[in-house]
Structure 1
Amino acid sequence: MVRRVVFGEARWRATPVTTADLNALMEKGLLWLRGDTARWDVHYAFFARNLGQVQALGREEGNIHFFTPSDVVIA
């Protein structure tokens, strides 16, 4: 049985999210899973004010998701 899990982080800073930030989130996820990724469908989500260049990764990778304030706030 495969289970799904989402590891996420919210950032509200003017500086953009970097690949180092994304890698740190992924490492935290692996620690939580204790390296056992075979039974998990793992996804990562960043909620950020400024996504910078990492947003292109979301288009390339199906398990990385990025959200800006306009994605989550209904005006």
Structure 2
Amino acid sequence: MKHGYLITNLILAVIFILLSAVIFLRKTDGAGLAQSPHLRLVTFVVLVIFFALIVVGELIVFAVSHRRRV
């Protein structure tokens, strides 16, 4: 089961890095608005919050599964 968490976290890390690069390198967003540094930061914070929720969920699942094994 540890390998599943490792693989999942590696995939999530790669996705996070790729999405962060897209956010900071793009000139306009999907609606055609020019991206200012403020808008890029807001978008990045939303991405961080989303991934933080995923990490918290993983930690809860890990804690529950680890407690059942002991």
Q: TM-score range by the shorter chain?
A: 0.3 to 0.5
Structure of larger gyration radius:
2
Going by fraction, where is helix more abundant, 1 or 2? 2
Going by fraction, where is strand more abundant, 1 or 2? 1
User: Which of structures 1 and 2 has the larger relative contact order (alpha carbons within 8 angstroms, sep 6+)?
Assistant: 1
